[in-house]
């Protein structure tokens, strides 16, 4: 069964976020991860805590977890945290 990582984010530093985004996409490749949606939130019901949502699909839970905990991705976390306030959640 496929697994999704749902990212909620609010940008805090556009330069750092652009740097992070350009590098993070490459870290998905070894784990067969792909972006299936990303962009601004339009809340249809309730309050939106974050401005942007990103949905990343993986073939399974193991690949999703292995991607998040990979050395390549972990190295990007300080840049990520400078560029945005975020929450990452695994579904599936």
Per cent of the chain over pLDDT 90 is 98
CATH (domain of 65)? 3.30.70.100
Q: Structurally, how many domains does the chain consist of?
A: 1
d(CA 74, CA 54) in angstroms, rounded, equals 18
Whether 8 and 57 have beta carbons less than 8 Å apart is answered as no
CA atoms within 13 A on the CB side of 82: 12
Q: What rounded mean pLDDT belongs to the chain?
A: 97
* pTM confidence score: 0.93
Percent of the chain scored above 70 by pLDDT?
100
- Position 75 confidence tier, pLDDT thresholds 50, 70, 90: very high
Rounded Cα–Cα distance for residues 26 and 51 (Å): 24
Residue 45: domain span: 3-91
CB 36 within 8 A of CB 78: no
CA 72 to chain centre: 14
């Amino acid at each position: 069964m496929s697994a999704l990582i749902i990212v909620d984010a609010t940008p805090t530093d556009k330069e750092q976020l652009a740097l992070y985004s350009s590098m993070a996409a490459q870290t998905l490749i070894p784990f067969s991860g792909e972006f299936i949606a990303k962009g601004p939130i339009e809340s249809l019901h309730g309050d939106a805590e974050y401005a942007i949502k990103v949905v990343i699909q993986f073939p399974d839970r193991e690949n999703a977890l292995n991607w998040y905990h990979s050395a390549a991705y972990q190295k990007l976390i300080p840049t990520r945290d400078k560029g945005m306030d975020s929450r990452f959640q695994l579904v599936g």
